[in-house]
Amino acid sequence: MGIEIKPENTIFTSTEMDIQDLYKCVHCGLCLSSCPTYTVLGKETDSPRGRIAYMKAIYEEKTDLTPRIVSHLDSCLQCRACESVCPSGVPFGRLMEHTKSYIVNKKKYSFFRSVVNKFLYKVVFPKQFILSLLSIGIKVYKALKLNKIRILMPSFMIPLDKMITDTPKEVFRADGSIFYSNPITKKRSVALLSGCVMPIVQSDTMRATVRVLNKNGCDVFVPESQKCCGALNIHGGDLEGAKSLAKANIDAFIDLDIEAIIVVSGGCGAIMKEYFDLFKNDEEYLEKAIRFSNKVKDISEFL
């Protein structure tokens, strides 16, 4: 490859990216047809292979992080569709998460975007209290039928409106409840991640999950001290915020006598199965994060 890899000296050091992963791509192009941004935009620069080329060029100091490069990296949806078809096992999701963190650290986003991101990642998603206020706001929005007053609705709200009006009436609270299964059936014990937005916009799904688990002989515990999984922080480049949420979740679940930590939101599960990546240099939490990640199961994987 013609370059000496010295992770301790790299521009990605602060994000703890595993630099070897950058060089796993063999440029075969098998991922291109699976990438939604490539199929829509049709440009190599908006493909997984193109984005990896940019990351390498930045690492090898062949280019600066220009606004044009940031826009191509930023258009990645972080859906990881490219990962599942890659014959070289390039962990693209992790590479992109570290790259986003690098973009944030280099202050390459506009002031407005940085402020909005900080507000969402530091204030809204980690705080159940703020999310409860959000659910009250949704109830008021629906009760007053504010969506009928078109003049009040900015254009960005139009796609959100259907999601808001479809929101179930009651939120699903993570309040430390234990939902017991039929005492006659064979017992299993699991804990459930409720998450940040799921208890509001998918509360019916959460309740149905508990019923299905109970029917299958599982007692279901919903720890009160759990937090948002941190996926949104990670996707936005806020790795420190994600670490603090991950620590709270590890502390909430790790000592429970349970068979599995059940998730019903695939994005949360994918991140929680990789919590260990956040604690590579944290002696206190690495071992706990590995044990935690091993217990995380999507409900369809568990049943």
Q: Which residues bind ligand SF4 (CB under 6 A)?
A: 25-31, 34-37, 48-49, 51, 76-82, 86, 88, 90, 92
Give residues with Cβ within 8 angstroms of 213, minimum separation 6: 179, 181, 190, 192, 220, 262, 299, 303
Shortest Cβ 277–ligand SF4 spacing (Å): 16
Residue number, 68 or 139, with CB nearest to ligand SF4: 68
Minimum CB distance to ligand SF4 smaller for 81 or for 134: 81
CB of 80 or CB of 108, closer to ligand SF4 = 80
Q: What are phi and psi of 261, to 5 degrees?
A: -105, 110
Nearest to 91 by CA among 1, 33, 11, 25: 25
CB-wise, 35 or 213, nearer to ligand SF4? Answer: 35
Q: How far apart are CA 135 and CA 170, in angstroms?
A: 9
Smallest distance, ligand SF4 to C-beta of residue 237, A: 14
Give the shortest CB-37-to-ligand SF4 separation in angstroms: 5
The residue among 47 and 209 lying less far from ligand SF4, judged by its C-beta, is: 47
Q: How far apart are CA 167 and CA 78, in angstroms?
A: 26
Tokens read off for 115? 């402020």
Q: Rounded to the nearest whole angstrom, what is the least distance from the CB of residue 269 to ligand SF4 in the complex?
A: 16
Q: Answer yes or no: are the C-beta atoms of 268 and 252 closer than 8 Å.
A: no
| Of residues 93 and 223, the one with the C-beta less far from ligand SF4 | 93
Nearer residue to ligand SF4 within complex by CB, 126 or 230: 230
Q: What minimum distance in Å lies between the beta carbon of 75 and ligand SF4?
A: 8
* DSSP symbols for 144-206: TTGGG-GGG--TTHHHHHHHHHTS-SS----SS-EE---TTSPPEEEEE---SSHHHHTHHHH
DSSP, collapsed to helix, strand or coil, labels residue 44 as helix
Closer to ligand SF4 by CB, 97 or 238: give it: 97
Q: How far is the CB of 267 from ligand SF4 (least distance, A)?
A: 12
**Closest approach of ligand SF4 to the CB of residue 146, in Å:** 34
In 193-287, at which residue ranges do the beta strands (DSSP E only) sit? 218-221, 260-263
- Write the CB contacts of 77 (distance below 8 Å, at least 6 apart in sequence): 36, 37
Residue 237 half-sphere exposure, CB side, CA atoms within 13 Å? 22
Q: How far is the CB of 83 from ligand SF4 (least distance, A)?
A: 7
Q: With contact defined as beta carbons under 8 Å apart, do 125 and 117 qualify?
A: no
Amino acid at 71: S
